[in-house]
Structure formats: structure tokens, C-alpha cells
A and B are shown apart, each in its own frame.
Chain A
Amino acid sequence: MTDTPLRKSLYLPTECEIISVTDLTPVEKLFRVRRTDGLPLGHLPGQFVQVSLLGWGEAPISVASSPTREGIFELGVRRVGALTSAMHTLQTGDTLGIRGPFGRAFDLSRLCGQDLILISGGCGLAPMRSLIQYCEDRPSDFGRVAILYGAKSPADRLFKDDLARWDASARFACSMTVDNISGGDCFSGSVGLITRLIPPLTFTPDTTIAAIIGPPAMYRAVIAELYKKGLSSSRIAVSLERQMRCGVGKCGHCSIEHLLCCQDGPVFWLNEIEHLRGAL
């Protein structure tokens, strides 16, 4: 890519270098990346970037690392289509393009001082990790932090090392579940849907905020459990996944009624969207 043109187009990606690639699961990899020009990404937990591979297109990928980890950022990528399959062939030293960061992040000022329940399912842990790392690095900003995570099987869990560390850390109360477990699996969590992890929690609804990121089917069930515990919709943040093509509020692919997931989200307060068609 050339020098930055005089007026940089909205649609021109910025070159980034891959520092390392780690297998998370057989279908998910973690890319540690930095901007070639050395500038920080400048993101907040909950934001995403449009990752660009020339010839393969672009896709929205949530940033999986916290801005407190300076100089680099990380992207957890599941292999689902042509672009992500091409990404999975990339190695250390290769480059990719990014545009962003885009979208509304977690409202850190409102989260500050509150007890947090961070609930994620499947690859929803990647974007949640950005917030968890943030909590890890700014321990005094928040009250108690509970991490709830559900995956299909022990092998399907992302960030197994991180999970083990968080589990061991006094900073976090971790509870985990998997849908299925087979003979050889070494797993200490429970078996069943993630909704099972909520009833045992004890928290004060007025000083607690929950955040949810997961597959589409997860939201309603988890929200129902949180409601049972008395948490109000203005204290539940959800991050929604949509197929953004542009990331900048123009292409229309991520609209939810009058809102755009890439601009008004991806992190929403539940009371902003629960009444909207097609949101959850």
C-alpha cells in the first residue's frame, strides 16, 4: 500500500502487521496485530474493526484485547466463509488491512464502580475478553466481576489459558458450562446451557450491570434469567452481531429498525432495543 493519500478515503484500509497467530480451537485463531505505522488502534472494549484482505473482501471483527494492552490489538477469528478461511492461512509477518475502530463501545463510565456480570457464549468470549482484560488491568475501577461462559464442548472453549487464569484470579468469579462433554475431556465446569449459571449468582440488582455477548439464540434465554433476578433492562448491555459491510453507517446491512448496529451499537443497553423487531 502507498503513502496515505491527501484525503484518505473512508473505504481505504490501514495496513497492519501480524505479530503472532495462535490456534484457539480447530476453527478459531487469535491474531495479534499492530498498525504498520506504529499508531495505536485507539479502540474501546466492545468496538470492532473491518478487517480487509484484498481480493477476499472485508468483515467486521470485534477486538478481543483491551486498549490497556498498548501497541497491539488482537482479533479472534472463526473460520466460516471465504474471507475468514483466507485469514486463517496468514502467518506472522503477513499484513492485513483494517478500518476502524467502529461502533459504540461498552459505556465504561456507567460500568465504573458497579458489580459486573460478564456473560458470553461461544465465540462471544472474544469481544468480551476486551472488557475482561480491561477489568483485569484496572482492578479498582469496578466492583465484583463475575465471568460466565458457555461453550459447546470443553474443546470448543476459546482462550483456555485466559479462562484458567481468570478462574484462578481472586479478581474474578468464574463459572463455566458446556453443552456436551465426552469421556476424555478434562473439564471442571458444569454441563448444560449457560442459563444454568445465572440462578446461583447472588448480586444486588441496583449496583450490578450485566453484559451479554453470544450466539443469537442465547440472548433471550439469558435475559429472562436476569430478569428473574431483578435486574432491569437499563442495567443489561448486549453486544449484537450483524453482517456490517461498511462499518460506517452507510451500507444498511446492520439496521435494526431505525438504529444501525455499526453506529448505534454493537453494544446497546437492552432497554434501547428490546422492543425493536429483529433486534434479539
Chain B
Amino acid sequence: MKLLTPELLDAFFATLSQRWELRLPILLPDGTRIIGSLIDGRLALHGGAVSGKPTAAFFPQQSTLLSVTDGTVEETPSPPPLFIVGFTPSDLASLRFIDRFFADGWRDDLYFTLRENAAIAALSGYCGLGGALIPLAGGDCDLEFFWDRSSWLVIAYSETGKKLIEDLPDAARTEVVELLRQTTPSLPDENETVIRAASLLLRADRVPDSFWAEIGDRCIACTGCNLACPTCTCFGVQDWRSANKTERSRMWDSCQLDGFMREAGGHNPLGSEAERTRRRIHHKLAADPQKWGEISCFLCGRCDAVCPTGIGILAVAGEIVARFA
């Protein structure tokens, strides 16, 4: 375990930036906190989960699938190695989930071209919103930065991670991390209790259609829930053609849109707001557990934050539990 004092942060990242493209939690001019580049805002490691889909680094809102100029397929230049800081343990769980998703069956090479080129650092410790404790990640990343209220204790989980911090001094006092390592698994999380209870109710078919119609009535189809979600992976595909060039790209799509599953002939298996709303929640809490063995909502709270009408997954799960448990 290494030690990184706040005053050495800038120098540390400056050294890294010689070999890596850095993406760090930053504060943008209007106070929005995201993972981005230091040219756009100042470093802001404290504050918990950043806004925006953290997995966007590997699955961007829009990316090119295929570009053909004068009949020739353009080779995509290999991207520079990426060093990303700012994943919370929940974000890491999401990343693990979609790593598995994109690898399963047909391996999505576009995703893994970016993913395998990146080193990931998690943030934990007392650096949550208002100094709240973020539990220890304990793995699923190359590095973990743990804020012990005065310094960052840096833990490496991979060879890449070890190399990155080999020049840092060893940390002297690491008891706090050890303590958390032992207690983390038993830390109760109210949200997790709710989401698990809602999942059970859904899988037991205890939630009536009228409930989904009611929630659907409150959905303005902004698609923000899907677009902010770190485990939402659905995409649409478009072709753009000009005189000598065709570009095929994919972009984040949303199951909350009527056209998502509508077929050319007009038939639509997700043809009502109620069905689409059910799908959004059911997919994470019932379908994914059946397919992947785990609920695919890791409680990051982004859909609840981004939803203009208060029907993010936690809010809806809460209503399910309150009404049907």
C-alpha cells in the first residue's frame, strides 16, 4: 500500500500524463462533476460518484462501427492508453457486469479495443459526498485510491497498477483500510435491501400491470435513465452517406422509446408505455438475474438523479416494495 499526499497529487498525475491519456473526476465550470480531462476543469476527487455514465469511456454515446471511403474500409487508429480515475465500487461492479456482457458469445471488439487499453482506478474511503464513507472496492480495478481523511492510500490490484505507483512511498498507517476490509461485506445498505425486495416481488410476478401503467404515465420518454445507466448497453445503428464516404455508427439507445422494438411492419412487442416501463425495471431486476445470476442495478443512483419525474429505478423499486410487499 502506497501513500499519496494531497500536495503530491498534481505531480503524480502530471507524471502519468506523459504515458497515459488521463480521465479524472473534474469539476466543470458550472459545478457539474464528471470524469474528464483536466483542460476542462479542476481535479475533484472528492464527492462520490460522478455524473454521467462512467462506462462511456469504453462504450461512448456515439462511436464509429465502420467507415468506408471510396470503397476502402478505414483502419481505426489505435487509441492512446487511457488511465481513468473515479469509479466507485458500485461503478466497478457495473463495469464488471458489462465486461462480461460484451465478452459473452460474440465478443464486441470495439468495446474491448478501448477497455483493454485502459487502466482503472477506484475511489473509496471518506471521499463521498460531504465526507461520507465509500466502501472499499477491494479489486476489479488496477488501483484503488482510499481517502483516510488526510491522504490517499493507494492499493494496486494488477501488475499495471503496481508499476504505476512503484515510485510512491509506502503508507505507514493502513489500519483503517484493514478494518474496512473486514467490515465492508457486512455494511448494511438500505437501497440494496429495497432493490433486492423489489427484485423478488417482480420475479414472483407480484407487480400488476396497472402499476406499470401508472409509472408509465409519469414517463416523458426522455431516455435519461438508460443514457446515464452504467449497465445499459443497448444501441442503435445509423448510416451516414456522402459522395465518397459512408459511415456506420452506433449510439446509445433506449428501451423507453416506442421505436426501440417497433418492426417495419408496425408490430411492436413493446408497444405501450406500461410495457416499456416494466421492461426497464424488470430487465435489471428479474431478466438479468435469470440470465446472469445477478441484479444488474448496482445502486449508483444516476437514473434517479437524471429522471425529471422521479421514476428512477430506486424510486420505482421503493414504490413496489411499499405497495406490494
Q: Which of B114-122, B182-190, B193-201, B280-288 contacts A (4 or more CB under 8 A)?
A: B280-288
Chain A contact residues, majority secondary structure: loop
Residue interface mask B80-116, A partner, CB < 8 A = 1: 0000000000000000000001101111111000000
Partner of B234, one of A2, A13, A251: A251
What residue in chain B is nearest A97 (Cβ atoms)? B66
Check if A242 sits within 8 Å of B234, measured CB to CB.
Answer: no
Check if B73 sits within 8 Å of A11, measured CB to CB.
Answer: no
Chain A interface, number of residues (Cβ within 8 angstroms): 40
What residue in chain B is nearest A245 (Cβ atoms)? B237
Q: Which of B14-22, B162-170, B261-269, B314-322 contacts A (4 or more CB under 8 A)?
A: B261-269
With known contacts A1-B68, A1-B73, A5-B73, A57–B108 Cβ distance under 8 A? no
Check if B235 sits within 8 Å of A9, measured CB to CB.
Answer: no
With known contacts A9-B66, A55-B246, A248–B75 Cβ distance under 8 A? no
Check if A250 sits within 8 Å of B106, measured CB to CB.
Answer: yes
Closest Cβ of chain A: how far from B293's Cβ, in Å? 11
Is A258 an interface residue when CB atoms closer than 8 A count as contact? Answer: yes
Is A56 an interface residue when CB atoms closer than 8 A count as contact? Answer: yes
With known contacts A1-B73, A278-B275, A246–B68 Cβ distance under 8 A? no
B238 surroundings in chain A (CB, below 8 A): 57
B101 surroundings in chain A (CB, below 8 A): 250
Check if B241 sits within 8 Å of A242, measured CB to CB.
Answer: no
- Which A residues, 63 to 100, have Cβ-Cβ distances below 8 Å to chain B? 80-81, 84
- Which B residues, 222 to 256, have Cβ-Cβ distances below 8 Å to chain A? 233-241, 246, 248, 250, 253, 255
Check if A249 sits within 8 Å of B104, measured CB to CB.
Answer: yes
Chain B contact residues, majority secondary structure: mixed
With known contacts A2-B73, A12-B73, A245–B108 Cβ distance under 8 A? no
Check if A250 sits within 8 Å of B235, measured CB to CB.
Answer: yes
- Which A residues, 1 to 32, have Cβ-Cβ distances below 8 Å to chain B? 1-2, 5, 7, 9-13
B270 surroundings in chain A (CB, below 8 A): 278
Is B210 an interface residue when CB atoms closer than 8 A count as contact? Answer: no
Is A181 an interface residue when CB atoms closer than 8 A count as contact? Answer: no
Give Cα A258 to B255, complex, Å: 14
B264 surroundings in chain A (CB, below 8 A): 80-81, 84, 243
Is A153 an interface residue when CB atoms closer than 8 A count as contact? Answer: no
Partner of A253, one of B65, B73, B234, B239: B234
Residue interface mask B36-79, A partner, CB < 8 A = 1: 00000000000000000000000000000110100111010000
- Which A residues, 242 to 280, have Cβ-Cβ distances below 8 Å to chain B? 242-243, 245-246, 248-259, 263, 277-279
Is B323 an interface residue when CB atoms closer than 8 A count as contact? Answer: no
Is A115 an interface residue when CB atoms closer than 8 A count as contact? Answer: no
Is A164 an interface residue when CB atoms closer than 8 A count as contact? Answer: no
Is B174 an interface residue when CB atoms closer than 8 A count as contact? Answer: no
Check if B265 sits within 8 Å of A80, measured CB to CB.
Answer: yes
Give Cα A80 to B263, complex, Å: 10
Is A136 an interface residue when CB atoms closer than 8 A count as contact? Answer: no
Partner of B68, one of A54, A56, A241, A254: A54
What residue in chain A is nearest B275 (Cβ atoms)? A278
- Which A residues, 135 to 160, have Cβ-Cβ distances below 8 Å to chain B? none
Give Cα A245 to B235, complex, Å: 8
Check if A248 sits within 8 Å of B105, measured CB to CB.
Answer: yes
Give Cα A216 to B262, complex, Å: 12
Is B290 an interface residue when CB atoms closer than 8 A count as contact? Answer: yes
Closest Cβ of chain A: how far from B262's Cβ, in Å? 7
Give Cα A242 to B275, complex, Å: 16
> Which of A80, A252, A263: most chain B Cβ within 10 A?
A252
A189 surroundings in chain B (CB, below 8 A): none
A12 surroundings in chain B (CB, below 8 A): 66, 73
Check if A58 sits within 8 Å of B237, measured CB to CB.
Answer: yes
Is B291 an interface residue when CB atoms closer than 8 A count as contact? Answer: yes
Partner of B110, one of A2, A9, A249, A256: A9
Closest Cβ of chain A: how far from B150's Cβ, in Å? 45
Closest Cβ of chain A: how far from B28's Cβ, in Å? 30
Give Cα A277 to B75, complex, Å: 42
Check if A10 sits within 8 Å of B275, measured CB to CB.
Answer: no
Give Cα A123 to B31, complex, Å: 56
What are 29 pairs between A and B in contact, CB < 8 Å? A5-B73, A9-B65, A9-B66, A10-B106, A10-B108, A11-B65, A11-B248, A13-B66, A54-B246, A54-B248, A80-B264, A81-B264, A242-B269, A245-B237, A250-B102, A251-B234, A251-B235, A251-B236, A251-B253, A252-B253, A253-B234, A257-B286, A258-B287, A258-B288, A259-B291, A277-B282, A278-B269, A278-B275, A278-B279
State the 5 A-B residue pairs at the shortest beta-carbon distance, nearest first: A55-B241, A252-B234, A248-B106, A80-B264, A258-B287
Beyond A251-B236, A255-B287, A277-B278, list 10 extra A-B contacts (CB 8 Å).
Answer: A9-B110, A54-B248, A56-B239, A57-B239, A57-B248, A249-B106, A250-B235, A251-B237, A256-B269, A257-B282
